[in-house]
Chains A and B, each alone.
Chain A
Amino acid sequence: MAAVQDAPMELDAEKETKPEILSDGTSNLSGNTASGTLSSPPLTAGGAPKQEDQQTLIAVLQFLRRNKLTESVEILRREACLEDQEDSQTLDGSGGGKGDGDGGDANSLLSRVSIASAAAPQIISSTSMYDQPDVSVVLSAYSQQGDPSLYQVYYSSLKNFIESVLDCHRAELSQLFYPLFVHMYLELVYNNHENKAKAFFEKFSGDQECYYQDDLRILCGLTKKEHLKGNEALLDFRTSRFVLRISRDSYQLLKRHLQERHNNQIWNIIQEHLYIDIFDGMPRSKSQIDSMSGSFAGETRREVNKAKVFYGLLKEPEIEVPLDDEDDEAENEEGKPKKKKTKKDSMGSKSKKQDPNAPQQNRIPLPELKDSDKLDKIMYMKESTKRIRLGPENLPSICFYSFLNAYQGLTAVDFTDDSSLLAGGFADSTVRVWSATPKKLRKVKSAAELNLIDKESDDVLERIMDEKTASESKNLYGHSGPVYGVSFSPDRNYLLSSSEDGTVRLWSLQTFTCLVGYKGHNYPVWDTHFSPFGYYFVSGGHDRVARLWATDHYQPLRIFAGHLADVTCTRFHPNSNYVVTGSTDRTIRLWDVLNGNCVRFFTGHKGPIHSLAFSPNGKFLASGSTDGRVLLWDIGHGLMIGELKGHTDTIYALKFSRDGEILASGSMDNTVRLWDSMKAFDDMETDDFTAATGHIHLPDNSQELLLGMYHSKSTPVTHLHFTRRNLLLAAGAYNSQ
């Protein structure tokens, strides 16, 4: 990792200068001893007690040297026979590396150093990040070795300090508890102080915030160093920096306290593992902090969310609607503001001005429109004229599709955009496609039969379909594990399904056979989604990355890496230039398709995120997670703008209505709730302070925004879909228990 690799360069440079500074008097000793203190690998097997003494001696030497007591240095060196150190002064990282886990006493000095270095604990290369061995540091390290109960002392003293601080600062400084607790616990475990670690855990785990309970439970089970090895998420936690946002005043308080206590242990942890984003201004209140915190790696730094995001929609192509249609808007060219499809295009499209917030048409290559696509678009426009305008007075009707006899095996559902087809992915690795209209599903005839039809006839497209096997539903077999994600292509020709077997399969809906299996994730793929223009699709899985594919490439085009835990939900932005991913690490990231960068990073959920939805105008994002809250985000400013409380269980389905006025959410608590998203977005205030610091004060108006709550009879809601006319369709598997 770049961060880790750069550090040793700096510290090496430091090391060079330090001996020079110290060697004002002594000439030959400085370089040696300085380096000697750093390396000291336990070369001799029984040399443990010797190492201890050497450490102390070296520390004393440094102290004397610093105070310019050169003669004493000489005498001490001679008497302590420190010449033999010159043999053991090779700064070999491997020796230092061995020292960390073997229980040797150089441990505590190196351990703190080595924990912060490279990702894999087995290959600690302690050439990186050597601290200047301060006397106090060495002594404290020295005293720690036999007495890790000092960790408890440090923590308790910090706790006391924070409790004694002014109210306004207390909330902010309390953010420190959790990361410090976890890092200290991990250090104890890492140094094989199992009992002390357990005692530390028992004493202080109850103090932590409730939304960290899941993480703490996992930590509770990790008591040995070997346990850490397989747990990627925790390893990432240790190497990435936990971000805290503290106001300058609070930070000064903290710093002063820690430095006057010489409480270097905590200070060192803060420096190595925490990133404190300091802002000027009023300290935040507890509620503000609570709303933003909860993620695995702390909050977001302010500058992360400052990149420009093109959240506008692409211009619709101009399509001539044929005049012989009975609709009265036949003259209407595409993009006219008459239809309330999008809010953004209402002004700009007529004058063909480029929306400044919309990406260029050719920013990413998109497939051209085929004739069939143009026909689809015309159909879409016609349907949208008949669309019902929704609002708080005009709620949509809800049609619920219950899957019977699914035996809790329904794992994924999707509807086509025109609501004609419905697909379900099941835990028995099948995918089943139903027709939601009276028209049956037909597949293309076999080649033998195709040869016999009259190719010149007008209805050739009907003739190629096989009437004999027409049915209401078709089964698709091919996966070898439960199917966790399904997605229809916008042109209704393809269906994607992602499964626990690590593959994403592309099925043809003309022949109902599998065309391609995309292998890349070698671990369960939790979700997949087609781009709104077809051709591209995104998938996210257990390997903590999301991948962007094109249907005609067998390898992914982009890899979106950065999450600390599984990627559970992936969605395309309506303009197909951005991909949003929600993860088990309780964060949401928005990625740019063009270059794979993470442009937005949202924290605030207290549980894994399972559903995401973009508003139709592309400006806002809604997310739902296991904590039962729906959070609303402004993509342009990178802020949280709303919180909808009410659900009591995981929210697996979120959908905006076609014009963005209503947000529907469906959850495992068997309810569908409708929220007034117009009001939620109008209410947001973006003054300069908010934009600059990212502090939001969310009004607790969930009750006002709730327009309706509808119970199903013990059927959790797995998917929601607004038809083109704004009828709400919901799908779920009836749970008879």
Chain B
Amino acid sequence: MASPKTVPKDAQVMMQILKDMGITEYEPRVINQMLEFTYRYVTTIIEDAKIYSTHAKKSSVDADDIRLAIQCRVDQSFTSPPPRDFLLDIARQKNQTPLPLIKPYTGPRLPPDRYCLTAPNYRLKSLQKKVSSFAGRITVPRLSVGAVSSRPSTPTLGTPSVQTVGTKVGTPVSLTGQRFTVQIPSSQAASVKSATPTTPTVQNVLINPSLIGSKNILITTNMVSQNSSSDSTSLKRKHEDEDDYDAL
């Protein structure tokens, strides 16, 4: 700890306050943090008080303004836990309902999906682009955000029309949740080998494996592969995708 002589006066005051409150051991940076907080708090209050006093058309800021400013800020930033009688009251209400029975054999016991964090938080948007405009590899952006780490498999095989989730073949079981749209560039010329260029391909959205909570595995995928030829390409593509992920 810096010697008291070389320390600025504010810091000395803060050290004295800490000593008065019985705190004898603290890291040296605590004083800086406390001073920063003090400065920020006091300036906020005084600024608010100035606003109130000009609103009341007073010539100078007085104690009432400060008091009002403190009161308003306290309700905003420094909330305290509810009072005891309130807690006792809600506890009484809550504790009256009997404990719910447990349904047997329900797999992972989780709240309704709305209250879980297991939903994909992205949604794939369709991109109506022409076939030959792109060449090169598919670059699929990495999409592991929070709990969801599902990634779309090879999007297109042949035709470039990348369609949104939920169309045509095999509606993916996508759960509601926060989403952001991801644009996936359309497929590449390299993959135009498929025999059926006109079949609409489906975006294969994989169900995130985080639904799988226990040893009772639910393997729900929704992969649709159009034809056998696409399988090999899809496999190959998958590895490429992984490389892409690393690159990104």
Contacts and interface: CB of A to CB of B under 8 A. Distances in A.
B interface, how many residues as a size bin? Answer: 35 or more
B248 interface: no
B91 interface: yes
Interface of A: 1, 119-120, 213-214, 217, 220-221, 230-232, 235-236, 239-240, 364-368, 370, 372, 443-448, 450-451, 455, 461, 464, 478, 491, 493-494, 506, 508, 510-511, 513-517, 522-523, 535, 542-545, 550-554, 556-562, 564, 593-597
B117 to A, nearest CB: 5
Given A447-B209, A447-B219, A564 B100 contact: no
B95 A515 contact: no
A478 B146 contact: yes
A464 B97 CA distance: 41
B28 interface: no
B117 A596 contact: no
Given A232-B80, A447-B219, A516-B116, A559 B87 contact: yes
Q: Is the interface of B mostly helix, strand, loop or mixed?
A: loop
Contact of A510 (B95, B213, B222): B213
Nearest to B115: A554
21 contacts: A232-B84, A364-B99, A365-B101, A370-B215, A372-B214, A372-B215, A443-B209, A444-B209, A447-B209, A447-B222, A448-B223, A448-B238, A451-B221, A508-B213, A510-B213, A514-B147, A515-B116, A515-B117, A516-B111, A561-B88, A597-B95
Contacts of B104: 368
Interface string B159-197: 000000000000000000000000000000000000000
Contacts of B4: none
Given A235-B84, A515-B108, 13 more contacts: A1-B85, A236-B84, A444-B209, A446-B149, A446-B209, A447-B150, A447-B223, A513-B149, A515-B116, A545-B87, A551-B110, A559-B87, A559-B91
Interface string B201-227: 000101111101111010111110000
B153 A448 contact: yes
B82 A596 contact: no
B2 interface: no
B88 A562 contact: yes
B81 interface: yes
B78 interface: yes
A217 B24 CA distance: 13
B42 to A, nearest CB: 16
Interface in B135-154: 146-151, 153
B145 to A, nearest CB: 11
A557 B215 contact: no
Given A368-B104, A543-B81, A464 B150 contact: no
Contacts of B221: 447-448, 450-451
B172 to A, nearest CB: 10
A545 B117 contact: no
A561 B84 CA distance: 8
A319 B69 CA distance: 67
A221 B20 CA distance: 9
Contacts of B92: 596
Contacts of A120: 83
B74 A552 contact: no
A50 B232 CA distance: 101
Contacts of A493: 108, 213-215
A561 B91 contact: yes
Contact of B99 (A365, A494, A510, A517): A365
Q: Is the interface of A mostly helix, strand, loop or mixed?
A: loop
A230 B74 contact: yes
B146 to A, nearest CB: 7
A584 to B, nearest CB: 12
A239 B84 contact: yes
Contacts of B214: 372, 491, 493, 510
Contacts of A550: 100, 102, 109
Contacts of A443: 209
B213 A515 contact: yes
A451 B219 contact: yes
A575 B94 CA distance: 22
Nearest to B151: A446
Given A367-B109, A516-B117, A557-B99, A447 B207 contact: yes
A544 B85 contact: no
B74 to A, nearest CB: 7
A506 B214 CA distance: 13
B56 interface: no
Contact of A596 (B94, B212, B217, B238): B94
A621 B145 CA distance: 44
B83 A557 contact: no
B206 A230 contact: no
B1 interface: no
A48 B217 CA distance: 79
Contacts of A217: 21-22
A213 B22 CA distance: 10
B63 interface: no
Given A214-B22, A515-B213, A559-B91, A448 B85 contact: no
A443 B144 CA distance: 15
A599 to B, nearest CB: 13
Identify the interface centre among B117, B153, B206, B223: most chain A CB within 10 Å of its CB: B117
Contact of B210 (A368, A450, A508): A508
Give the 3 A-B CB pairs with smallest separation, nearest first.
Answer: A596-B95, A554-B115, A561-B91
A552 B106 CA distance: 11
B8 interface: no
Contacts of B247: none
